[in-house]
Amino acid sequence: MKSKSNNVFFAAILFFVLLSCNSHNNTGYKNWSVYGGNKENNRYSALTQIDTNNVTQLQVAWQYHAGDADKMTQLQVNPVIIDNMLYGVSPKLKLFALDAVTGKEKWVFNPADDINKDVKGAGYFMMNVCRGVTYYSGGENDKRIFYAAGPSLFCVDAVTGKAITSFGNNGKIDLHNDLGVNANDLYVSCTTPGIIYKDEIIIGCRVAEEMPAAPGHIRAYDVHTGKLRWIFHTIPQPGEAGFETWENKEAYKHVGGANSWGGFSLDEERGIVFAPLGSAVYDFYGGKRLGQNLYANSLVALDAVTGKRIWHFQTVHHDIWDRDLPTAPSLVTITKDGKKIDAVAQPTKSGFIFIFDRVTGQPVFPIEERNVPVVSELIGEKPNPTQPFPTLPAPFVRQSLTEKDLNTLVPDSSYQDIKKRLSGYSTGVMFNPPTKRGTVIFPGYDGGAEWSGPAVDPATGIMYVNANEMPWILTMVDIKDKPLTAENNLLAGQRLYTSKCMACHGTEKQGSGNYPPLTDASKKYTEEQFTQLISTGRRMMPAFNQLATSEKKALAVFILDIKSEQNKKFIAPLIPDDGWNKMPYSGTGYNKFLTKEGYPAVLPPWGTLNAINLNTGQLVWKDTLGDYPELKAKGLHTGTENYGGPAVTAGGLVFIAATSDAKMRAFNKRTGTLLWEFPLPACGFATPAVYEVNGKQFLVIACGGGKLGKPSADVYVAFGLPDKK
């Protein structure tokens, strides 16, 4: 009798728990009003109209062309949907509102109308990547969209599309301000949107990855006035915790970076904002910033009211591999050893997932400090002797490259070539220090996990994360930055290119990674246009306005091959050298390790989608993501590099585009089975949004291409089930 009573009691408790969960999901996860789906950043939708049984019936509901793509643009936006309106951004950073059912344009806000008044920002406003917007409502008559175009944060009326001029300086604030240093000539922008807590917007920023660079301090502004509420110094100042982790006590005045470019997650009930931080500058040489370098490469939990640090965990000590935390973490409640834990799960470029109690910062699974290589051939460098390794979950990508891992799908001559090249590189250990002969970075600079982030099902605690498995090669060279005696413009331009430009554009101006070649720059720019470009920056390129006029002239002469100016004497600037901005070494570019055919030098898979149970730390399933058509025809499913992330639904589906073969796909979230794929008009290097209007469920993706050699585009594509007749 007692047993039966207990059973009834526990059944009642279970019923109310399930009812509570369902109610929470139905009210909390049916909208897509926040970048990443919601402030928990789990990219989850509770909508069930589209499910595993009918997903194959999906068809295009509407398409919208923003009308301003060119071969230099990218479109990586995860749009938001509020009051049946979809808010997105065009390739050249125009903000727009669409009818979310039909895709019909309602209004467009063009920041160029404002930018033309600001010569300082004109060069790089239009070519930065903006991945989304932030919505705030203070009532029926106060609905605002915040978004960044270059170095300005704009505040726009969500109903009319007009700037709200009472915010900041005539509707915008300059992100160069309030950093505690004179950052006016430094690259500062905002790639990922901020997050709203009550009546403040919390924002991070993107800064240069080489010296000089602005600091990446996190700021909160009043949503109505644009006035600064608080600032958190990501590079601690004297008297602040973490300052002791920098050996040079003057570093905080000079070193930049440690920026939250990947966005934020928010525990709104507790008022805790979670910020993932990038590496300190310069990315690949830390001889001038010795020490562990807090709070670079850390997940930091901040009081959303005051900006005070609650706890932190550094995922890479003294980063010299560009191991930024690439995305905001996901908030999830998991069950471990029968106990519910409100947790925060942080994926990384290296393929680790760090999971913490979101209140205390205690690891949910043990994290071990393990010895790593400490001998560097770069003078002045001192790698940290240990690095943190989570014991669970296991890495979701490979983390070392040896001969047995090389690509054997290519002809033998090609295989022998990559085998010979590998034998000269430093490889086999993920934390090998950078070298002059070349160090394998695997996973590469783009992950592992990347900026798009994972999706997490709150009902099961399963995380879905896509990954790249592309090796890259980091090669360092000596930099001789002092002018030679009787230097001419050509020699000075070559020297300046090596110290300022080579790390991104390659040793022979050929381009590298996401950075374009400069070999045909003379066909695109006059000397005047080029000088303006390097003064203001553009897209991913920082401004170099700190260079003297003669130095800009010499760079133009070299890069544009202005023969009439090459032999003229270079006039060296009389600028005091503070020693911080002149690095003794530089990388030769962001270079992938490829076969002669252009495939990754490692065996497949090259792109994967992974399901990981955060309750246990165990892998549930793994599948390739994307195909090379010519290899697929041979029955080889290799996966491709992918940019953009997944969305998971209560209908049993994981939606993802992201691949270089330009397809939208739906997987069964329980088994990993591919259920549906649909060709897109261009690569969807973005994360889809899932929403409902008038009882009809939609799926929308921004198709912008512009990476992996794919053409740029400007189209948003929405899908839905056929209307019932």
Residue-averaged pLDDT of the chain: 91
Residue 528 pLDDT level (bands cut at 50, 70, 90): confident
Q: In this predicted model, what pLDDT tens digit does every residue of 643-661 receive, in sequence order?
A: 999 999 999 999 999 999 9
Model-level pTM greater than 0.85?
A: yes
Give the pLDDT confidence score for residue 283 in this predicted structure. 96
Higher pLDDT, 545 or 663: 663
DSSP alpha helices (H): ranges in 55-118? 112-115
Residue 557 pLDDT level (bands cut at 50, 70, 90): confident
Residue 21 has pLDDT above 50, yes or no: no
Distance CA 385, CA 118 (A): 47
Give the pLDDT confidence score for residue 9 in this predicted structure. 39
Q: In this predicted model, what pLDDT tens digit does every residue of 503-524 receive, in sequence order?
A: 788 888 887 766 778 888 888 8
Kindly report the number of other CB atoms within 10 A of residue 322's CB atom. Answer: 22
CB-CB contact of 284 with 320 (8 Å): yes
Domain boundaries along the sequence of the chain: 480-582
Distance CA 16, CA 18 (A): 5
Of 535, 504, 531, 528, whose CA–CA distance to 518 is shortest? 504
Q: Which one-letter amino acid corresponds to residue 159?
A: V
H or E, element range at 494: helix 489-500
Contacting residues for 290 by C-beta, under 8 A, at least 6 apart: 246, 247, 248, 318, 382
Give the pLDDT confidence score for residue 514 in this predicted structure. 66
Give the pLDDT confidence score for residue 26 in this predicted structure. 36
Give the pLDDT confidence score for residue 338 in this predicted structure. 95
Q: How far is CA 509 from CA 503, 505, 699, in A?
A: 10, 5, 41
Least confident of 76-80, 87-91, 513-517, 566-570: 513-517
Residue 32 has pLDDT above 60, yes or no: yes
Q: In this predicted model, what pLDDT tens digit does every residue of 326-358 receive, in sequence order?
A: 999 999 999 999 999 999 999 999 999 999 999
Asked if CATH classification 3.40.50.300 holds for the domain at 480-582, the reply, yes or no, is no
Mean pLDDT calculated for residue range 453-459? 98
Cα first-last separation, the chain: 55
Q: In this predicted model, what pLDDT tens digit does every residue of 64-78 receive, in sequence order?
A: 999 999 888 899 999
Residue 16 pLDDT level (bands cut at 50, 70, 90): very low
Mean pLDDT calculated for residue range 675-679? 98
Q: In this predicted model, what pLDDT tens digit does every residue of 416-428 receive, in sequence order?
A: 999 999 999 999 9
Mean pLDDT calculated for residue range 319-323? 98
Q: What percent of the chain has pLDDT over 90?
A: 76
Give CA angle at 551 (285, 150), nearest 5°: 70
Residue 1 has pLDDT above 60, yes or no: no
Cα atoms in the Cβ-side hemisphere of radius 13 Å centred on 481: 19
Give the pLDDT confidence score for residue 520 in this predicted structure. 85
Q: How far is CA 120 from CA 61, 124, 125, 141, 546, in A?
A: 41, 9, 10, 34, 13
* DSSP 8-state secondary structure symbol assigned to residue 515: B
Residue 6 has pLDDT above 60, yes or no: no
CB-CB contact of 444 with 471 (8 Å): yes
Give the pLDDT confidence score for residue 539 in this predicted structure. 58
- Owner of token pair 């800064």: 207
Give the pLDDT confidence score for residue 125 in this predicted structure. 41
For residue 212, cis peptide bond before it (omega within 30 degrees of 0):
yes
Give the pLDDT confidence score for residue 576 in this predicted structure. 58
Q: What is the separation of C-alpha 344 from the centre of its chain, rounded to a whole number of angstroms? A: 18
Distance CA 704, CA 690 (A): 18
Distance CA 648, CA 249 (A): 46
Mean pLDDT calculated for residue range 525-538? 80
- Give me the DSSP letters along 243-266: GGGBSSTTGGGT--B----S--EE
At 419, give phi and psi (nearest 5°).
-65, -45
Higher pLDDT, 698 or 512: 698
H or E, element range at 7: helix 2-28
At 223, give phi and psi (nearest 5°).
-70, -20
Give the pLDDT confidence score for residue 590 in this predicted structure. 92
Distance CA 469, CA 626 (A): 13
Contacting residues for 357 by C-beta, under 8 A, at least 6 apart: 341, 342, 343, 344, 363, 364
Q: How far is CA 406 from CA 469, 575, 607, 638, in A?
A: 12, 49, 16, 14
Mean pLDDT calculated for residue range 365-384? 98
- Owner of token pair 């901020």: 194
Give the pLDDT confidence score for residue 4 in this predicted structure. 38
Give the pLDDT confidence score for residue 114 in this predicted structure. 62
Give the pLDDT confidence score for residue 498 in this predicted structure. 78
Mean pLDDT calculated for residue range 584-603? 95
Residue 484 pLDDT level (bands cut at 50, 70, 90): low
Residue 269 has pLDDT above 60, yes or no: yes
Q: Which one-letter amino acid corresponds to residue 219?
A: R
At 505, give phi and psi (nearest 5°).
-100, 0
What torsion, rounded to 10 degrees, do the Cα atoms 330, 331, 336, 341 define? 160
Of 724, 716, 720, whose CA–CA distance to 79 is shortest? 716
Distance CA 425, CA 435 (A): 8
Three-state SS annotation for 286-314: CCCCCECCCCCCEEEEEECCCCCEEEEEE
- Give me the DSSP letters along 602-647: BPSPSEEEEEEETTTTEEEEEEE----HHHHTTT------B-S--E
Give the pLDDT confidence score for residue 72 in this predicted structure. 81
Q: What percent of the chain has pLDDT over 70?
A: 91
